[in-house]
Amino acid sequence: MDWFYPFLQAVLNGMLTGSLYALIAMGMALIFGVMRIVNFAHGAFLMLGMYATWVMFEHAHINPYIGFIPTGVLLFIIGAAVYAGLVRHVPVQAEFMIILLTLGVSLICVDSILLIFGADYHQLNFPLLGKNLRLGSQISLNAPWVISFGIALLAAAGLYMFVMRTMFGRAARAIAQNPYSAPLMGINIHRVQAVTFGLGAAAAGIAGALLLPVFYLYPDVGHLFNLKSFLMVVMGGMGSIEGAAAAGLVLGVVESLTSLYWGNEWALVVDFVIFILVLSFKPSGIFGSQRA
Amino acid sequence: MRPRTSAVLITVVLLSIAVLIGCQNKGGGNTVKIGVITSLTGSQAAFGQAHKNGYTIALEELNAKGGINGKKVDLDFYDDQSKPDQAVQGVNKLVDQDHVPIILGSYSSESTRAIVPVVTAKQVPLIIPTAVADNIMATGSPWIFRLCAGSGDYAKATLDFLKNNGNPKNLAIVYESTNFGQSNFRSMSEAATAGGMNIVDTEAYQASSPDYKSLLQRVKGKNPDVVYFASYLLDATTLMRQSEQANFNPKYYTSAGTGFAVADFPTEKGAGKYANFTYSVAQWLPSASWAGSKEFDEKFFLLTKTHPSFHALEAYIALMVAAEAMKKNMTSPAAIRDEVRKTDMPTTPFGPIKFDAKGQNAHPTLVTQVQDQHYKVVWPPDAAEAKPIYPPPTWSQRKKSGEL
């Protein structure tokens, strides 16, 4: 049984990290699914979420586990505003324009933060960070990771229910299926897309808020997650939010196990090998067959 | 029609280039420009900022004393964003557009290694303040000069210290997979094998990951007496916090300076109390006995309200060395290079500065331990201010005693 506890510990650690990956990827998948936009500003939204949470903690002593709620609202507003002010004016067919536009938004966000807060890194320090939950004698889980995991799962489930079970979600899915006939059915396409973009940004922002206590922040931190979330969106089936969530969890666990058995330097390699395998043998993604 | 149009076009392009070059040459006059490349933004911004503060203090001192032969010194900063390709862009910009005769920088080994071929090709001298990877000096470029001790010296100092303090046998090396990390890994594994230690584990890792718990769990499984980290600040903090979470208790946490040696590391901005008992190599401390150390510390404190780490002082010294050489002869980059080579400054806050044939300054390496959130020199004995504490209490003992 010597091998079992390290294995279990690594799987649990991987799930904790994976839940945050999942939430980040779901936001990107939602935007991609409804609008066919690869949002390169996603990492920047995550970074904005981290900064918003950090400012609230530093200046108003709002615990990040409460602060993630106003952060989500703020990022929703920013996301919806970016859509209404910029994205909706670019024709849908001009994919390259959209990529440039979101890249531009990302640069503006990063450089504004640089201008306001400087390049220095910051991290949170509060007593909870040192608390570990012990399960038996062998397994220990860091409390802030566990709380982040719980909130990330709730947020992900909420997002899923919202898209699958509400009228709004139905409208969003209708646009995803056919953006030309959806407005003929009486759907206000711009409003739905603005809300979708906002929700995607909010998911990234909340993930940022939850990541903050266990990580650190600096203006460029978002780029660490941009590529990875795109990876998960593709693996999950280009726009399937449940697929992206599953891909996030899988990557988290795979990275953790790779670190344990082969070494951390291989983690990214294994990520990409899985990515290529999925693309080669199931190009529609893990959950791809369910969606057009 | 066609040939004529293109002839006109070519003339216009040539003319505008000529005008551009003309404009730039006017910069001469009464100021001397010195190029600086460092990481003002990106993940190594904390160190780039330390550099900038060091340069600023040196610049003020220089200009207060009349600059270089009566000419005011002007620093031309280029931010490499903590990325090697940007550092290369920096050399191109500083040399081709701004025509600086000498460059100081960059911060990291990664960026510095990338610019060595470029400064060599452009024939501009480069003074390296902080990059410790030994493959930088191994290039043999006659245009580079390094102030700091290298990764080989780091490994040697750490092993000397261990040999005389408990003489542990089993070593694990954990390093980030960059030029800095790999160079320290190579130096340490060669020196440790030669010194008769068993290397029980070597782990390369991807820098800036949120989660190193599985990595640490793996190292813990190999049961080393000593772990040697080569990490930058943000990862150093994560590694120490997660060492507690993984309940990883080696007898010695040693490190190749950098993330473990920067002023923020033992404070609440870094790992805080989790930094206690870690060892690091250091090139300088504010308490060093070299003349001028205290004054530099005071000036730095006035400027930033914090105490400097050695990275700031190394930047300060780099500018001073450049200025000293340029005072003697600054007719061309080659002339400056020859003067830098002849540098002989017996008393600086960083000790005596003199370059060997390869351009390396012989600088002694100290070993420090964080005790009660302060760096204390514990090795070599003639510089030691405190006794090393080993083995440290385990993480659970530290929790129980209320330290954490």
> In this model, does residue B23 exceed pLDDT 50?
no
Which CATH superfamily includes the segment(s) B152-282+372-400? Response regulator (3.40.50.2300)
Q: What is the mean pLDDT of residues B91-109?
A: 95
* Most confidently predicted of A276-280, B164-168, B206-210: B164-168
What pLDDT shows up at residue A77? 97
Half-sphere exposure of B17 (CA within 13 A, CB side): 7
Tens digits of per-residue pLDDT, A108-140? 999 999 889 887 788 888 888 888 888 877 888
User: Kind of pairing, strands B170-176 and B198-205?
Assistant: parallel
Nearest beta carbon to residue B45 from set A119, A132, A256:
A119
What is the radius of gyration, based on Cα positions, of chain A?
A: 19
Nearest beta carbon to residue B203 from set A129, A211, A263:
A263
* Cβ <8 Å between A119 and B48: yes
Q: What is the mean pLDDT of chain A?
A: 90
> In this model, does residue A21 exceed pLDDT 60?
yes
pTM of the model: 0.85
- Buried b / exposed e over B101-111, threshold 16 CB at 10 Å, is bbbbbbbbbbb
B71: helix, coil or strand? Answer: strand
Q: What is the mean pLDDT of residues A256-274?
A: 91
Q: Which tokens sit at A249?
A: 């969890």
Percent of chain A with pLDDT over 70: 98
Chain B residues with beta carbon closer than 8 angstroms to that of A120: 45-46, 49
What pLDDT shows up at residue B9? 57
Nearest beta carbon to residue B215 from set A211, A214, A259:
A259
List C-alpha distances in Å: B225 to A96, A138, B219: 55, 21, 11
Pair B291, B261: CB distance under 8 Å: no
> In this model, does residue B236 exceed pLDDT 50?
yes
Q: What is the mean pLDDT of residues A220-234?
A: 89
Collect all residues from A whose CB is shorter than 8 A from any CB in B: 6, 9-10, 13-14, 16-17, 20, 114, 119-123, 125, 129-130, 132, 140, 142, 211, 214-216, 218-220, 224, 255-257, 259-261, 263-265, 267-268
What pLDDT shows up at residue A288? 61
> In this model, does residue B8 exceed pLDDT 90?
no
Chain B residues with beta carbon closer than 8 angstroms to that of A215: 210, 238
* Cβ <8 Å between B208 and A224: yes
Nearest-CA residue of chain B relative to A126?
A: B268
Tens digits of per-residue pLDDT, A31-41? 998 888 889 99
Task: List chain B domain ranges.
Answer: 30-149+289-354, 152-282+372-400
Short-list B241, B398, B249, B276, CA closest to A143: B241
Q: pLDDT confidence of A51, banded at 50, 70, 90?
A: very high
Nearest-CA residue of chain B relative to A264?
A: B205
What pLDDT shows up at residue B403? 84
According to DSSP, the residues that pair with A134 across neighbouring strands are A140
Q: What is the mean pLDDT of chain B?
A: 91
Chain B residues with beta carbon closer than 8 angstroms to that of A140: 245-247
* Cβ <8 Å between A265 and B206: yes
Tens digits of per-residue pLDDT, B241-289? 999 999 999 999 999 988 999 888 999 888 999 999 999 999 998 888 8
What is the radius of gyration, based on Cα positions, of chain B?
A: 23
Q: What is the mean pLDDT of residues B20-37?
A: 69
Short-list A13, A44, A36, CA closest to A223: A44
* Cβ <8 Å between B245 and A132: yes
What pLDDT shows up at residue A11? 94
Chain A residues with beta carbon closer than 8 angstroms to that of B177: 265
The DSSP output letter for B385 is -
Q: pLDDT confidence of B122, banded at 50, 70, 90?
A: very high
List C-alpha distances in Å: B213 to A139, A258, B251: 12, 12, 19
The DSSP output letter for B393 is P
Q: pLDDT confidence of B28, banded at 50, 70, 90?
A: low
What pLDDT shows up at residue B257? 87
> In this model, does residue B307 exceed pLDDT 80?
yes
Q: pLDDT confidence of B404, banded at 50, 70, 90?
A: confident
Q: What is the mean pLDDT of residues A186-207?
A: 95
B147: helix, coil or strand? Answer: coil
Short-list A27, A34, A33, CA closest to A228: A27
* Cβ <8 Å between B40 and A256: no
Whole-number Å distance between alpha carbons of B208 and B231: 10
Nearest beta carbon to residue B213 from set A13, A120, A130:
A13
Secondary structure string (H, E, C) spanning chain A: CCCHHHHHHHHHHHHHHHHHHHHHHHHHHHHHHHHCCCCCCHHHHHHHHHHHHHHHHHHHCCCHHHHHHHHHHHHHHHHHHHHHHCHHHCCCCCHHHHHHHHHHHHHHHHHHHHHHHCCCCECCCCHHHHCEEEECCCEEEEHHHHHHHHHHHHHHHHHHHHHHHCHHHHHHHHHHHCCCCCHHHCCCHHHHHHHHHHHHHHHHHHHHHHHHHHCCECCCCCHHHHHHHHHHHHHCCCCCHHHHHHHHHHHHHHHHHHHHHCCHHHHHHHHHHHHHHHHHHCCCCCCHHHCC
B102 vs A178 pLDDT, higher one: B102
What pLDDT shows up at residue B15? 54
Chain B residues with beta carbon closer than 8 angstroms to that of A222: none
Same fold, B30-149+289-354 and B152-282+372-400: yes
* Cβ <8 Å between A259 and B214: yes
Q: pLDDT confidence of A28, banded at 50, 70, 90?
A: very high
The DSSP output letter for B293 is H
> In this model, does residue B22 exceed pLDDT 50?
no
Pair A99, A36: CB distance under 8 Å: no
Residue B204's region, left for phi above 0, alpha for psi from -120 to 50, else beta, is beta
List C-alpha distances in Å: B253 to B211, B228, B260, B278: 19, 6, 10, 5
User: Kind of pairing, strands B31-38 and B72-79?
Assistant: parallel
Q: How far is B43 from chain A (nearest CA, A)?
A: 7
B156: helix, coil or strand? Answer: helix
Pair A54, A205: CB distance under 8 Å: no
User: Kind of pairing, strands A139-142 and A132-135?
Assistant: antiparallel
Collect all residues from B whose CB is shorter than 8 A from any CB in A: 40-43, 45-46, 48-49, 81, 177, 203-206, 208-215, 217-218, 221, 233-234, 237-238, 241-242, 244-247, 268-269, 272, 399, 404
Q: pLDDT confidence of B17, banded at 50, 70, 90?
A: low
Chain A residues with beta carbon closer than 8 angstroms to that of B210: 17, 20, 211, 214-215
Task: Decide yes or no: CATH 3.40.50.2300 for domain B30-149+289-354.
Answer: yes
* Cβ <8 Å between B217 and A14: no
Nearest-CA residue of chain A relative to B206?
A: A265
What pLDDT shows up at residue A286? 74
Chain B residues with beta carbon closer than 8 angstroms to that of A17: 210-211
Q: pLDDT confidence of B1, banded at 50, 70, 90?
A: very low
Chain A residues with beta carbon closer than 8 angstroms to that of B218: 259-261, 263
Nearest-CA residue of chain A relative to B50?
A: A120
